[in-house]
């Protein structure tokens, strides 16, 4: 059986190196690369002969955020399996990363055993949430369910704007296409982010694709 091929993206150099050593000691896991920031990691993974089976990524890094990187990975490699490894236990982050396509979420306080279980579970087609974040996430889901009826669906105009985002169009191009001002586009984007629970353009597109709002 081929080993699980893992790529690490984390700006904490010492921790990343320690995680790489731990994973490489396992007979069924091999670290095929690592990077200290997202853009380098995305470029190096694309250059590999075979895309990694698992991408372990932090959320907060210099330059491109982990959230944006997750959306980019999923857009180009829908089969990719991503594990978020971060110090942030905010259930909003968990919810957003899972919606964006991540399969696992662990805190950096997790044990080595937790991380190994996460890698093997996600590689096997499953998912993994660290026990400490499961209850807060369930509470967030319950709150979202209670307030779902109060949320408005995207309007036709907002749908057009999300589709334009997916096509990579700038605010200026969207404004020209829809015959509206750039300020109006910005106003629509603010409402779209609120309705989708998105943090930025890439995140909004990722959520819209996963919810099949756009094709």
What are 76-129's pLDDT values in tens digits? 998 999 999 998 887 777 878 888 899 999 999 899 999 999 999 999 999 998
Q: pTM of this prediction? A: 0.66
Of 109, 144, 146, the closest CA to residue 130 belongs to 109
- Residue 3 pLDDT class (50, 70, 90 cuts): very high
Looking at residue 35, its pLDDT comes to 97
Among residues 144, 177, 201, the one where a domain terminates is: 144
Query: CA dihedral in degrees (37, 38, 40, 46; nearest 10)?
Result: 150
- Residue 45 pLDDT class (50, 70, 90 cuts): very high
- Spatial distance between the Cα atoms of 169 and 113, rounded to a whole number of angstroms: 44
Same domain assignment for residues 136 and 190: no
Q: Find the domain containing 169 and state its range.
A: 151-210
Looking at residue 147, its pLDDT comes to 46
Asked, for residue 133, whether it belongs to a domain, the answer is yes
Same domain assignment for residues 34 and 100: yes
Number of structural domains the chain divides into: 2
Looking at residue 149, its pLDDT comes to 45
The pair of structure tokens assigned to 175 is: 């404004």
Same domain assignment for residues 51 and 157: no
Of 199, 205, 207, the closest CA to residue 67 belongs to 199
Asked, for residue 15, whether it belongs to a domain, the answer is yes
Same domain assignment for residues 157 and 124: no
Asked, for residue 61, whether it belongs to a domain, the answer is yes
- Residue 202 pLDDT class (50, 70, 90 cuts): confident
Number of neighbouring beta carbons within 10 Å of residue 8: 25
What percent of the chain is predicted at pLDDT more than 70? 90
Same domain assignment for residues 111 and 196: no
- Spatial distance between the Cα atoms of 130 and 84, rounded to a whole number of angstroms: 11
Same domain assignment for residues 139 and 161: no
Same domain assignment for residues 44 and 61: yes
Looking at residue 18, its pLDDT comes to 96
Asked, for residue 215, whether it belongs to a domain, the answer is no
- Spatial distance between the Cα atoms of 99 and 5, rounded to a whole number of angstroms: 24
Looking at residue 136, its pLDDT comes to 61
Among residues 144, 171, 200, the one where a domain terminates is: 144
Same domain assignment for residues 12 and 111: yes
Among residues 98, 117, 144, the one where a domain terminates is: 144
pLDDT digit string, tens, across residues 143-183: 555 444 444 577 778 888 988 888 888 999 999 988 899 99
User: What CATH code is carried by the domain that includes residue 53?
Assistant: 3.40.50.2300
User: Does the pLDDT at position 22 exceed 70?
Assistant: yes
Same domain assignment for residues 63 and 121: yes
């Amino acid at each position: 059986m081929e080993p699980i091929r893992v790529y690490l993206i984390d700006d904490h150099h010492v921790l990343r190196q320690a995680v790489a050593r731990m994973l490489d000691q396992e007979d069924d896991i091999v670290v095929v690369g690592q990077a200290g920031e997202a853009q380098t990691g995305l470029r190096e993974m694309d250059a590999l002969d075979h895309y990694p089976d698992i991408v372990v990524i932090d959320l907060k890094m210099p330059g491109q955020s982990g959230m944006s990187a997750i959306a980019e990975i999923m857009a180009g490699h829908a089969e990719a399996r991503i594990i978020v490894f971060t110090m942030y236990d905010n259930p909003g982050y968990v919810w957003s990363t899972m919606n964006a396509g991540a399969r696992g979420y662990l805190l950096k306080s997790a044990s080595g055993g937790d991380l190994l279980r996460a890698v093997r579970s996600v590689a096997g087609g499953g998912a993994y949430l660290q026990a400490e974040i499961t209850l807060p996430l369930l509470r967030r889901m319950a709150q979202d369910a209670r307030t779902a009826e109060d949320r408005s669906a995207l309007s036709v105009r907002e749908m057009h704007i999300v589709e334009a985002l997916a096509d990579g169009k700038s605010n200026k191009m969207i404004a020209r296409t829809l015959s509206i001002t750039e300020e109006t586009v910005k106003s629509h984007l603010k409402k779209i982010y609120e309705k989708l629970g998105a943090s930025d353009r890439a995140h909004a597109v990722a959520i819209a694709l996963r919810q099949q709002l756009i094709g």
